[in-house]
Structure 1
Amino acid sequence: MGFLNGLLGNASTISTDEVKNELGAVLIPGEDIDAAFKLIRDLLVFTNTRLILVDKQGITGKKIEYHTIPYKSISHFSVETAGRFDLDSELKIWISGADNPAINKQFGKNSSINDVQKLLAAAITRS
């Protein structure tokens, strides 16, 4: 069902050990992964210091963009949940000084958007 959820745009929880192996070269010493979510091929990774968005590009996914957002740079975020006829949820993240959201991610109706929202709220309020 994890593969089907990914195809439908549903964020699914992914093992922190699996993400640690994948992001070993990107993580700094002392940085721990709190939680990670997989959205098709992309990842949202919450560490103890930052949010890392992993965007796998191209047909093979060999080209990867790593977008780091320190929690202290996030001015606010919004979550729009899916409705009865609206099939997707949306996460928007604004960076300090920006008028438009720096990040805009779509999630499926039955996704982990509420878990993502809780983690993001906890992270930005502790920084």
Structure 2
Amino acid sequence: MEFRDKPMENLIRLQEKDICKNINALLLEGEQIVGAYKTVRDQVVFTSHRIIMVDMQGVTGTRQQLFVLPYRKVLHYGIQTAGFGDPLQASQLTVCFADGHEAKFGFIGQKDLFQVANAISARIL
């Protein structure tokens, strides 16, 4: 996964017990998980302070590459909601960072999208 090149699409809510153990090891004191999601193999966790993305590699997925994207580096974000007749994954969050890169996340449904957007807003406004 290279978050700069390709959006994470069709994100499905992930139970907290199924979150990658390496993510739990990275959480700071007082940092809370806002939402955890997965694609077929990869995971993304939105916390109260940052976005943590996990690229599961190899046949078994034991090799992992983690990207940590702090909200303090976010300049702005955009939301695209699904319209009538659109596929479920049409809801999308685009996060733009100070270095010019952006990360895109395609959600199934809009409830999770706004929950994550509110967490980002709380840190950047």
Q: What stretches of structure 1 of length at least 5 have no aligned partner?
A: 1-7
Correspondences of 1:108-119 after superposition (within 5 Å): 108-109=108-109, 112-119=112-119
1:124 aligns with 2:120: no
Query: Could you tell me the TM-score, scaled by structure 2's length?
Result: 0.69
Q: Which stretch has the larger CA shift, 54-63 or 17-26?
A: 17-26
CA distance in 1, matches of 2:119, 2:14: 12
Q: Which whole-Å deviations, capped at 9, do the CAs of 1:7-36 have from their partners, x for residues lacking one?
A: x92431532x654844244335x2523323
> Could you tell me which amino acid in structure 2 is paired with residue 37 of structure 1?
A
| Aligned mate of 1:91, from 90, 93, 103 | 93
Correspondence 1:47-126 to 2 at 5 A: 47-87=47-87, 88-98=90-100, 101-109=101-109, 112-125=112-125
- Classify 1:104/1:13 alpha carbon distance in 2 versus 1 (closer, same or farther; 3 Å): same
- Equivalent residues, number: 114
Q: What's the % identity of the aligned pairs? A: 25
Aligned equivalents of 2:106 and 2:48: distance in 1?
A: 24
Correspondence for 2:32: 33
RMSD between aligned residues:
2.8
Tell me how far 1:77 sits from its aligned partner.
0.8
Any idea what the Cα deviations from partners look like across 1:59-115, whole Å, max 9, x if unmatched? 4323322111111100011111111222121111111141xx421122224662222
The higher-RCO structure (CA 8 Å, 6+ apart) is 2
